[in-house]
Every structure is written in C-alpha cells, then in structure tokens.
Structure 1
Amino acid sequence: MKFQIFLAYIFLLPGIDLASVFAVEKPDSHSRPNFIILLADDLGYGELGCQGNPQIPTPHIDSIAQEGVRFTNGYVSASYCSPSRAGLMTGRYQSRFGYETNPVGAVNEDPNVGLPRMEVTLADRLKAAGYRTSLVGKWHLGGTAYYHPQRRGFEEFFGFLHEGHYFVPPPYDDVTTMLRVNKLPNGTSGRAKFGNRVFSTHMNHAEPAYDTNNPILRSSQPVVENEYLTDAFTREACEFIERSKEQPFFLYVAYNAVHSPLQATDTSMQKFASIEDVHRRIFAGMLSNLDESVGQILRKIEEENLAENTVVVFLSDNGGPTKELTSSNLPLRGFKGDMYEGGIRVPFLMQWPGVTARGEEYAAPVISLDLVPTFVRAAGLEINDRETDGVDLRPYLTKEKSGDPHNVLFWRQKQRAALRMGDWKIVNHSPER
C-alpha cells in the first residue's frame, strides 16, 4: 500500500521523468580494457618478419609490434607446452605447484593430471570481476571434467583438451599433410610423397595419435568441424568479440599452429611454391595462415570500434622444435625442450593504446607470468605480490618506473634448470629422467 502511494505521489509531481526514476545504470563497457591473448604453438623466436625472417611474410602479426612494443627478451616459464600454459594462466612459476611435465596422449586423461584446482587462473579473476571470458583453441591443462576450462574461469570454450590436433579431419582433403613414420611404405628410410601426403622417417618415430579421445568441443559437447582448424578458431574468436563488445572481455585464442601435425592448405602451398623443400613449404603455409587469422581478429577489433580499449598480446608457448618443424630460433641457441635461450625465449608482442609506444623495442627481460598482474591491476582488481611471480609491466612501459622489471628469472623442468640474473645466465642441462 505504501509503495502504491509513493508511485501516485511521484507520478503527480511536475517535471518527473518516470524512465529516469526506474532506469538501471548501464555499466560503461569502455571503463576497463578488453584483453586478448593470441598464443602460437611451437613458434620459433626467429620466424616472424619483425623478428628477422625474410622468407615468410607475417604482416599482420608484425603490425602488433609496429603499433605497440616488441619485447626482445620476452620469455615463457617453460620450454614445453603444458607447463608454459600453466604459468601463463596463473602468473606463477609452475614449479611452485609441481606442474613441470608435459602430458601427452592418454596421460591427458589421467584424473590426477592437470592444472591444480587450488590455483587461480587469470580467467577466474576476470570473470569474478564481471568480464566475459572465452578460450578458443588448445587447453592442454587437463583432459578430464575436473580440469575443464569452464571450471577454470572460462564462460565459453571451443577447442580441444590435449596437446595437439589435426587441422582437418580425414581423409585430409584440400591440404598437404606431412606425417612422421618409422619406415616408408617400401620399408626404407627417408622421405616419400604420395598424392597430397608426405611421409618422413627423419624423427625416427611415428606421428602421435593426436585426435584419439580428443574431439573438437563446444563447451563439453563434441562437434564436427570441417573448416581448417586455424580458420575455425579465428571464426569463433571473431564471433565472441562481436557478442561481447558491450562488456569488458578476456579472450584467449590458443592456436595449435604451427605445432605438428604439419598440414597446410592448398592455397598456402601455392603461395610458397618457390620454397623447394616441401617440409619447409608446409610450415610456411601454416605460419602464413596463422598470420592471416591474426589479421582477421585485428580487423574485427577495429570494425567493432574496440581498438582504443583493447590490449592485444601475441606470443608463443615455447621455442620452435627445429628438426620437427624446420622452425628457426635464430639467433638463439637451442630449441623446444631446452633451457637454452631457443627453448624459452619467444616472439612476444604487445599492443596497448595509451600504454605502449608505437614501434618500441623493449630490451629488459620480461616473462609471460607478467601478464596476470598487468591485466588484473589494469582491470582495477587487487593482486598482491605473494599471489604472483609476475610484475605489472604498465609503469615500465609508460616510463613511470625506471630499471628492469625483474632482477632474476628462473626455470626448472625436472632435472633441467636455468637462472638469468642481469646479462648472466647459468644452465643445468642434465638429461631428463
């Protein structure tokens, strides 16, 4: 009764706009930045145009460096996929919670293997603060329901859970596929081409069964995806941006390119017909396709008028496996799996209007762990130094702080370890047991 009297009273007052009385304030979607992480898989330090590669043009990825900053001493926290992703998602050295190995094959389905549930992810933090969150692509932090991305802070998931996936389903039409084998069909060693398939014994083992018990999922439901997987992930990423443009969002696009299996589209193969080595030509096609996909996402940000308030980071999860992919880590020593620079130092680019200067090269060491505190604090949230091994990079990029963000960086994977202090580095490269 009292509420009805109140309504009648305000209705009779002159100059009262009822719409303004009962309007719910719409949050400003541009008050907090959007965050996009574009993660390449097994991309070597020296493979981008902006990193010095003249053979394979990567103009769209290079544009992130041109419009922002290129970290010339940018590191990840491990030289293998899964532990590196654990560090990226938590902002903590994965050694702190015992996650140093790389689950492959059936081990992904071990209920005891995955990013420990007590660890808080970047998606957890941002989702709790009102961000839309989505993972598109490769997870590789636990292949069972307990570790599913949607139980780790991601509202949406489209991708796969294990370490790798074929880019098209069998019979691999419209692509050239290179497969590792123990022996060629005639029982000898070497390389042989049959139609659109190339077989090679150079790795002395067969291609892993990447797709076994590892379907493409939308949320937790298997789907049939016929589009080349790099393109499919880009499609899903762009659709998420369009759906989420009225809210702050965190989009993690974890491409499986240029990870094996080596599969390049016919169009990409024609583009690099001048490369005689078919092994290298397939790799070039995969990288070029990845670059075009990054370009589509960057264009989508522009089309939705989000560019001025969106942070874009591009990096690789570890160094390139040279023998497997032909990947170059030049001028660095070593490759994926190493504690040498080629295993842990990666292409690392950031575009952030108002924070990064255009075309800057930042030489002080930074690490993927830095993204968690940088993003969390930029979103207006609290994270104390005990919760992260990373550093908020913003004051260093805006020159509010001088000096280096890190005095020491550390890596450990079982018996292998390394430490960098200033310009000095010590490496223990004992064989893994």
Structure 2
Amino acid sequence: MNESPDIILFLSDDHAAWATGCYGNSRVRTGNIDCLARNGVLMANAFTVTPVCSPARATLMTGRIPSQHGVHDYIGTAPDDDVDRNWLANETILPQLLRARGYRTALAGKWHLGQERVAKQGFDQSCTIGPEYPIYHQGPRQFYRGAEPETRDGMLARNITEEALRYLRERDRNAPLFLVVGQYATHSPWKGHPERLAQMFRGKEVTKELPVEQYPFGILMRESTDPTRLDPEEALCQYYAGVAEIDESVGAVMDELAAQGRLDDSLIIYTSDHGLNCGHHGLWGKGNATYPLNMVERSIRVPMIFHSPDRLMGRQRRTEMADHTDLFQTILDFAGVVESKDERELRNSPGRSFLPLLTNEGHPAAWRAVQFCEYGPVRAARTNRYKLSLYPDPAMNLLFDLEEDPEELDNRYGDPDLGHIRDELTQLITGHFSSFREEQFDGATVDRLPRYNPLEAWQPNAGHRH
C-alpha cells in the first residue's frame, strides 16, 4: 500500500440521500454508487450543516460552519456580482492542507465558492464550470481551466467526468492525488438529460409514493415555483436520469483506478452538498424552497459513502450522526495531516474524525447525539427523535417528533408535553452556536453579513418570487 493513498471526493450538487439505491430507493439506478456502499462504509445518518450550495461546500472545505467561515447563502453569479472574489481567502482549506502533505490537488466541475474565472485556492489544477447561469445539462458551456476560458460542448456530466479521468491518467504517479469531482447533473433544471436514461423511468409511476400533503409552514419559492411542478412525473424522471449520469461518472472513475491497480488502495468518498425535495409535500429544492427557510429531512440528509477495501473495514452501515465538518476531519486523519495545537485552536472546528469507525480500530468516545444546522438566522438541532428549528420570529419556531411524525407536518413547539424537550434543545442550540462563531459572521446578525446574492433566502421579500 502507498503511504499516502489517493483520495477521490465526489461532491455532487443536490443529490439527496433518498435518491440512491443503497439508501433505500428501489426505483433509481445507482449500481456504481451502491457498489461503493456495499463494499465500503455507508453513513446512514449523514447531514449537511446548511441546505444550500455555497455554505455547505465552504463547510466541507474548512471544517467550520457558516457562522465561522462567513458564507451563509449561495454565492450569486449575476453580471453585477463579484464572481472572482475568493470567499475563503482567510481560511486554510482542505486542498491546501493536503498539498502541504505532498498531495497533488485537482478539481473538475462545480466549485461555487467564488474564483469563478481564476485559479482555485489550494488546487494545482482545475477545470470548472464558469459563472454563466442558468447551467444547462447539455450544449455549449464555458469552463475555466485555471484562468483560461474554454468552451465545451455535449453533456455537462460527461465533460466533467472526462476532466476527472484526464487528471487520473496524467497525474504524477510518484505523488498521491486529491481529486474533487463536482458533478452537477442532479441540479435543476430537471430537463435535458440523456433520453436513454430518462426513458428508463417513464411509465414507472415514479411519483406514486411521494407524500402529497402540502408543506404547511411556509410559502413556495425559487425552484418550488418553477414550471417543473406542473409535470412532476417527468421532472422526477429527469432527476433520476441525472442521478444515473453521476452514477456512470462514478463507474468510469472506478474503472480507471482499477486499470491503474489503485482501486482498492485509494479512498473514494461519495457525498453531496445537501439534500433535495422533488415534489415531496409540493416542494422542489432545498432549504430555500420555502419562505421561511426549511430544515426538512430531505433538505438536510446527504449520502456519505467511503470505499477503500485495503484500508477500511468494508460492508458497514453506520448509524452515528455525521456531517461535513466531521468529513473534513476524517479526510485529514486518513491522509495523515496533523494540525498543530495552535492551528486546531484557530480553526475551532466542531467536527471530529470518525476514521476509527471506518477502520474498525475503535469508537470515538462520547460521539454526539445531536446534529446542528444553520441557514442564515435559522438554527436547528436534531436528535434521533426530535428536531427543533428556531427562527428570528418565534411564532415561526418548529418542533417535530420524528418518530411519530416523520413527514414533519405536526408542529409541537407549543405543546406543553414537549416543553422540556423544547427547552433542552434550545439550550443546546445556544451553547453550540456560542462556541462556534466569529462575531463578524454570526448568522444571528444577518444585517451585518455581506451580500451573497440579490435575493438572500432569509429576506422577507424573497418569498414573493413567482
């Protein structure tokens, strides 16, 4: 085995945990991802800290939450936005730490943390989707190879896959590789995917089992108001086709690693930035699919799978809670990166490495029983049974008993029988976000935060877009 193994990180966009076979979906086609899970380790309770693109990605790259790294909403790419601003310039991020360990670092696909048309922080090489929006799944598209524009035609997912394969084939064989593959095929618009894939799902009544009761705690916004909602059957077929495209990408990378004799020794990680609703309770999208913002299970649950047969104890399905701050620490641990005491104190990451769980070498003491999330001023705590979401307006606060009400339709916040649960979780939220915050980035004070996009999801007028 190599002393420092290759690490391939698939960071897909909008790929919900429920939309994979290994997480229980019998309709979708994810044979390659399922293979990773079957022979690796699947985290059954994996979450995003923030259910929207840029903050989630920043959290994974820094091991810190939005109230620490300062990215609280998606970063706009409109003509009047500063698309080349480096939002993490004051952070030492994951590829930088791995590069200092001797890794070569490469990025293909989506980044969405600024630096849209320039070289990416910490990466030796990058070929990424440009800032033009919307992003379609086929046709001409501007990429940036470092700072050089490059027009690519054809299927977007395939172009990203080809770049990932190129990095694998041309890499320095004497140095370990950290490769991030940022697939986009599961993001809206839910149309334009390969017909050969979409037709696999048509006529199968893919929406038959979707919960139909309308989400009662907010109005629809953004993707939830798109014409997609008028033909949910076709939209979900297209979403599943996008999932299948990504699965093909995973298979192509696995095949290339196998051809190089590196498949079993490398670490392949499959995850996404956040979850997604596809017609569930009338919602399309993630945390900003409603106003006020939502923290529903399908928005915050993500797939998280690890595959490295030579290094991990495979065929595990772990039930511990894990999020992207833990993933950050686990990757560092796997690569042998050890930050100094001063560096750890400066980072102040809430995450912990769960590598001992993956290798069967031990169980980290007192693993947490609560998952914390934030999106702008909205904060949430989730245990195995209860979830509390706190809003700036207390009248909007939500408390759900996930055991009795898994679809989150019965708000128990004012129920005196659950008053002790409400108070305990409120205290936990207060303590957590007091410990992990930088004053200038604290999500509780959104009026002091920088502008991320023209229609920030916590603004009252954000909900009136149709």
Give the TM-score band, short-chain normalised. 0.7 to 0.9
Q: CA deviation at 1:106?
A: 1.3
Aligned to 2:200: 271
- Alpha-carbon distance in structure 2 between the residues aligned to 1:326 and 1:351: 35
Task: State yes or no: 1:168 paired with 2:109.
Answer: no
Instruction: Determine if contact 1:143/1:161 at 8 Å carries over to the other structure.
Output: no
Aligned to 2:7: 35
- Residues 240 and 234 (structure 1 numbering): CA distance in 2 closer, same or farther, change over 3 Å? same
Instruction: Determine if contact 1:217/1:223 at 8 Å carries over to the other structure.
Output: yes
Aligned to 1:391: 352
Aligned CA RMSD, in angstroms, stands at 3.0
Instruction: Determine if contact 1:42/1:321 at 8 Å carries over to the other structure.
Output: no
Q: 2:313 aligns with which of 357, 370, 386?
A: 357
Q: 1:322 aligns with which of 260, 269, 278?
A: 278
- Alpha-carbon distance in structure 2 between the residues aligned to 1:218 and 1:113: 17
Task: State yes or no: 1:131 paired with 2:103.
Answer: yes
1:275-319 Cα shifts (integer Å, max 9, x gaps): 463222222222111111111111111111112321111111111
- 1:113-132 matches, within 5 Å, as 114-132=86-104
TM-score, normalising length: structure 1? 0.75
- 1:147-162 matches, within 5 Å, as 148=118, 150-162=119-131
Amino acid at match of 1:287: V
Q: 1:236 aligns with which of 163, 185, 198?
A: 163
Instruction: Determine if contact 1:275/1:281 at 8 Å carries over to the other structure.
Output: no
Instruction: Determine if contact 1:322/1:335 at 8 Å carries over to the other structure.
Output: no
Task: State yes or no: 1:97 paired with 2:69.
Answer: yes
1:243-296 Cα shifts (integer Å, max 9, x gaps): 224320100001112001222112223433434632222222221111111111
1:172-212 Cα shifts (integer Å, max 9, x gaps): xxxxxxxxxxxxxxxxxxxxxxxxxxxxxxxxxxxxxxx7x
Q: 2:186 aligns with which of 238, 255, 258?
A: 258
Q: CA deviation at 1:97?
A: 2.6
Task: State yes or no: 1:220 paired with 2:176.
Answer: no
- Alpha-carbon distance in structure 1 between the residues aligned to 2:289 and 2:18: 11
2:78 is paired with a residue whose SS is helix
- Residues 94 and 100 (structure 1 numbering): CA distance in 2 closer, same or farther, change over 3 Å? same
Aligned to 2:368: 406
Instruction: Determine if contact 2:138/2:193 at 8 Å carries over to the other structure.
Output: no
Aligned to 1:248: 176
- Residues 88 and 48 (structure 1 numbering): CA distance in 2 closer, same or farther, change over 3 Å? same
- Alpha-carbon distance in structure 2 between the residues aligned to 1:123 and 1:326: 39
Aligned to 2:258: 302
- Residues 67 and 103 (structure 1 numbering): CA distance in 2 closer, same or farther, change over 3 Å? same
Q: 2:112 aligns with which of 140, 144, 155?
A: 140
Q: Structure 1 residues 391-400 or 253-262, which shifts more?
A: 391-400
1:396 is paired with a residue whose SS is helix
- Alpha-carbon distance in structure 2 between the residues aligned to 1:268 and 1:142: 32
Amino acid at match of 1:137: G
1:296 is paired with a residue whose SS is helix
Task: State yes or no: 1:79 paired with 2:20.
Answer: no
- Residues 72 and 411 (structure 1 numbering): CA distance in 2 closer, same or farther, change over 3 Å? same
Instruction: Determine if contact 1:264/1:282 at 8 Å carries over to the other structure.
Output: yes
Instruction: Determine if contact 1:334/1:341 at 8 Å carries over to the other structure.
Output: no
Amino acid at match of 1:160: I
- Alpha-carbon distance in structure 1 between the residues aligned to 2:28 and 2:99: 38
Instruction: Determine if contact 1:58/1:288 at 8 Å carries over to the other structure.
Output: yes
- Residues 108 and 342 (structure 1 numbering): CA distance in 2 closer, same or farther, change over 3 Å? farther
Q: CA deviation at 1:382?
A: 1.3
- Alpha-carbon distance in structure 2 between the residues aligned to 1:161 and 1:325: 33
1:87-140 Cα shifts (integer Å, max 9, x gaps): 011111121132111123317832695423111110011112221101100110
Instruction: Determine if contact 1:47/1:328 at 8 Å carries over to the other structure.
Output: no
Instruction: Determine if contact 1:339/1:429 at 8 Å carries over to the other structure.
Output: no
Amino acid at match of 1:77: V
- Alpha-carbon distance in structure 1 between the residues aligned to 2:23 and 2:85: 35
Instruction: Determine if contact 1:314/1:347 at 8 Å carries over to the other structure.
Output: yes
TM-score, normalising length: structure 2? 0.70
Q: How many residues align?
A: 357
Amino acid at match of 1:251: L
1:136 is paired with a residue whose SS is strand
Instruction: Determine if contact 2:11/2:182 at 8 Å carries over to the other structure.
Output: yes
- Alpha-carbon distance in structure 1 between the residues aligned to 2:302 and 2:34: 14
Aligned to 1:20: none
- Residues 253 and 420 (structure 1 numbering): CA distance in 2 closer, same or farther, change over 3 Å? same
Q: CA deviation at 1:160?
A: 1.5
Instruction: Determine if contact 2:18/2:298 at 8 Å carries over to the other structure.
Output: no
2:29 is paired with a residue whose SS is coil
Q: Structure 1 residues 254-263 or 387-396, which shifts more?
A: 387-396
Task: State yes or no: 1:311 paired with 2:239.
Answer: no
- Alpha-carbon distance in structure 2 between the residues aligned to 1:274 and 1:265: 17
- Alpha-carbon distance in structure 2 between the residues aligned to 1:116 and 1:324: 34
Identity of aligned residues (%): 26
1:134-183 Cα shifts (integer Å, max 9, x gaps): 110011001456xx4x341011111214476212226xxxxxxxxxxxxx
Aligned to 1:292: 248
Instruction: Determine if contact 2:71/2:87 at 8 Å carries over to the other structure.
Output: yes
1:328-376 Cα shifts (integer Å, max 9, x gaps): 99xx999796223222111111113344332211001011112222222
- Alpha-carbon distance in structure 2 between the residues aligned to 1:164 and 1:85: 19
- Alpha-carbon distance in structure 1 between the residues aligned to 2:29 and 2:183: 18
Q: CA deviation at 1:44?
A: 1.9
5+ residue gaps, structure 2:
206-232, 397-457, 460-466
Instruction: Determine if contact 1:45/1:328 at 8 Å carries over to the other structure.
Output: no
- Alpha-carbon distance in structure 1 between the residues aligned to 2:84 and 2:157: 30
Q: CA deviation at 1:51?
A: 1.2
Q: 1:419 aligns with which of 375, 381, 389?
A: 381
